[in-house]
Amino acid sequence: MFSLNGMNALVTGASGGIGSAIAIALAKQGARVALSGSNGQKLRGFREQLIEEHGGDHVEITCNLSDTTQVEELIPAALDTMGGIDILVNNAGITRDNLAMRMKDEEWDDVIRINLEATFRLMRASARPMMKARFGRIINITSVVGATGNPGQMNYIAAKSGVTGMTKSFAQEVASRGITANCVAPGFIRTAMTAALDEKQTDTINAKIPAGKMGEGDDIGAACAYLSSREAGYVTGQTIHVNGGMAMLS
C-alpha cells in the first residue's frame, strides 16, 4: 500500500462504519488522524481502540455538522491540534428518506445542510493551509445512487450528485497548487445499518450486485488510502465507484 507517513488527516463521521474503516486505513499507512463526529463518547472509544490496535497519536474533535458555527471551527481546531492538515475526508452524512410528494422542508434542509453545505465549507476552509503548503488531498464520500438516482431519496441524491460536481470544480481551481480533490462512491457496504436487514432483503440486494455480495468498509478505506497518497498526485476531479459492479459507470 501507499505510505502516508508524516501526513495529518481529518475524517468526518469517523465513528461510523465506513468512517471508522477509512480512519483505520489511513492510520495503518502512517497518517495521524483527527477523528470527527457528533458523538464525543463514541469518538473517544474509537480513538482509544485505534491507538491500541494500530499505534499513533490520533486525536478526536467533536463537531455537529448541522451547526454552521461548529463546521467553521472544525478546520481551525484540526490545525491547532495537529499543526497542519494534508488530507480531508468528508465522510459524514445523513438520510431523511421520503417520496418527493411527501418530503417535508426540514427533511430536505437537514440533508442538504449536512451532506452538501458542510462539505463545501470544510473544503473551502482546508484550501488555504493546503495551498500554502502546496499539497493537499481532499476526498468526498458520495454514493452510487448519486449517479443512478433512487426513489424516495431526492434530497440525498441532490446532495451527493452536488458534491460530485462541486468536487470537479474545486479540483480545477486548486490543481496548480498540488491539491487533488476526488470522490469515492460506495455501493452497498456492510455496516450496522445493513446488518439489520433480514435474509430476504439481503438476498434481494446481493442479486443486483455482479460480485454477489456487499462490500466491506475496508474496500472504501483502501480507495481513500490510495487517493490520499503522494502517488495519486495526478488523479483529480475523479469519482472511484466501489460497488462490486452494481452500476457500470464511467
What digits encode the pLDDT tens for the residues 163-184? 999 999 999 999 999 999 999 9
Residue 196's pLDDT band (boundaries 50, 70, 90)? confident
Please state, in angstroms and rounded to a whole number, the distance separating the CA atoms of residues 225 and 20: 13
- Please report the pLDDT score of residue 197 as a whole number: 77
When divided into structural domains, the chain yields a total of 1
User: Is residue 156 annotated as part of the catalytic site, yes or no?
Assistant: yes
> Average pLDDT, stretch 40-50?
94
CA distance 250 to 245: 12
pTM reported for the whole predicted model = 0.95
Domain-located, residue 245:
no
CA distance 137 to 241: 18
Identify the domain containing residue 201 by its residue range.
Answer: 8-239
Q: How far, in Å, CA of 142 to CA of 240, rounded?
A: 10
Q: Which of 46, 156, 170, 188 is catalytic?
A: 156
pLDDT band, very low/low/confident/very high, at 247 (cuts 50, 70, 90): confident
- pLDDT surpasses 70 at 49: yes
Residues 204-235 pLDDT 10s? 889 989 999 999 999 999 999 999 999 999 99
Give domain status of residue 81, yes or no.
yes
pLDDT digits (tens, 9 = 90+) for 106-115: 999 999 999 9
Query: What's 133's domain CATH number?
Result: 3.40.50.720
Handedness of CA 135, 15, 114, 79 (dihedral sign): negative
Is 250 inside any structural domain? no
Q: What is the pLDDT of residues 155-165, one digit of tens each?
A: 999 999 999 99
The answer as to whether 119 is a domain residue is yes
Residue 66 lies in a domain: yes
- Note the pLDDT of residue 40: 92
Average pLDDT, the chain: 95
Q: What's the rounded Cα separation, in Å, for the pair 67 and 72?
A: 9
- Banded pLDDT at 250 (limits 50, 70, 90): low
1 in any annotated domain: no
pLDDT tens digits, residue range 52-95? 999 999 999 999 999 999 999 999 999 999 999 999 999 999 99
Q: Is residue 62 part of a domain?
A: yes
